[in-house]
Amino acid sequence: MATTNSIYRCRGRRRGGFTLVELLVVIAIIGVLIALLLPAVQQAREAARRMQCTNNLRQIGLACHNYHDTHRTFPPGRLVYDGKDSSGDSTKIVTGFLAMVLPFLEQGNLADIYYTEYGFDDPINQDAANRPVDIFQCPSTPGSDRTTPIYSGWNLGWSDDIADLPGLTSIATDYQGVRGMHFIKDDGAGSTVHEWQEYSGILTENAVSFKDITDGTSNTVLLFEMSGKPDRWTLGKRQPTSTSARFYQHGPWAGNNGVGIFNWQADATVNQCDDCDKYLNIDNMYSPYGFHPGIVVIVLADGSTRGIAETLEMQTFLDLCRKSDGNVLGEF
């Protein structure tokens, strides 16, 4: 009898479990938690990428300092001189500063296969130029293929025809040096006019030493982000493949790394104009451009790094980039 009652009691128990409604509620709660956590995860990842980018620039800045210790000047942003190419023909030899500081970045093996007696656009340097160097690239830059065409205007007659590119390539860099500045100034009659100062930065074609930076090393930009090559980026949007050969003038790590920075209209439609008063995160052709929200990372001549706001006033950024203008620097 006891056994029969036990069976009845077992049969009368309800099995535990979720109803459909309860399951849907749990799924909804999990979805809300994921939605709340995902932005935080993305922000943490971007913070890590920004830290890596900042460290990359700091290491390149220190390499420039070590170059100065050895040669008593900073590396030129680019060297351009008459010479012979690897086949014996007359050419312009062009080499950028990133190739010159390779030994100071623990890249001696790469330096050994880059022939500095020939230009970055010489076929003999294709092996070296197409070797990726992690420290030359920002981890926030989109895209996995960073191979960019090589353009050396001195040997192409400064053609803008994409068909004139020599068919040579290099891995791109996201970091460049300040050679000169395009800017606008008061013409004295109530209007502004465009002006170009080619050697106002530190990484020019001339030998610049610490004594030449009279505005102070903590007040002068040495390096900056110009990310995204070989793709054209404007105001945060990837553009169609560039049909301008000159777009690729600054891009290869082995190439012309001293940039004459362009000023732009805010809508990115025109540069070098009499009312072009923007520099930062407008276009990545000849101007500072980064993929960290709202900022561009720079290295100052004292080796320190900063993230400067893309809303920084034009005059303040201009004064930062010129090594000896004597102007009182605004907040940055």
What is the bridge-based pairing of β-strands 258-261 and 175-186?
A: parallel
Q: What is the 3-state secondary structure (H, E, C) of 163-231?
A: HHCCCCEEEECCEEEEEEEEEEEECCCCCEEEEEECCCCCCCCCCCCHHHCCCCHHHCEEEEEECCCCC
Cα gap 263→289, rounded to integer Å:
12
Q: How far is CA 112 from the centre of its chain?
A: 25
- pLDDT for position 85: 96
Q: Counting Cβ atoms within 10 Å, is residue 155 exposed (0-12), middle (13-18) or buried (19+)?
A: middle
Q: What are phi and psi of 315, to 5 degrees?
A: -65, -35
Name the DSSP class of 296. E
Q: Residue 216 corresponds to which tokens in the numbers above?
A: 């102070």
Structure tokens at 264: 């732009």
Cβ proximity of 247 and 211 under 8 Å: no
Structure tokens at 199: 């050697």
Would you give per-residue pLDDT tens digits along the chain (332 residues)?
455 555 445 555 555 667 887 788 888 888 888 877 777 677 788 889 999 999 999 999 999 999 999 999 999 999 999 999 999 999 999 999 999 999 999 999 999 999 999 999 999 999 999 999 999 999 999 998 999 999 999 999 999 999 999 999 999 999 999 999 999 988 888 888 899 999 999 999 998 999 999 999 999 999 999 999 999 999 999 999 999 999 999 999 999 999 999 999 999 999 999 989 999 999 999 999 999 999 999 999 999 999 999 999 999 999 999 999 999 988 88
| DSSP letter string, 238-289 | EPSPP-BGGGGSS-BTTS--EEEEPPB-TTSS-BS-TT--B-TTSBSSSS-B
pLDDT for 107 equals 96
Query: Any idea what the Cα angle at residue 122 is, between residues 224 and 255, rounded to 5°?
Result: 5
pLDDT of residue 128: 97
The structure tokens listed for 277 are 């008063």
pLDDT, residue 21, reads 78
Question: Rounded to whole angstroms, how far apart are CA atoms 202 and 179?
Answer: 6
Distance CA 319, CA 322 (A): 5
Prior bond to 230 cis, omega within 30? yes
In this prediction the pTM is 0.87
Burial level of 173, CB count in 10 A (0-12/13-18/19+)?
buried
Q: How many CB atoms lie within 10 A of CB 187?
A: 11
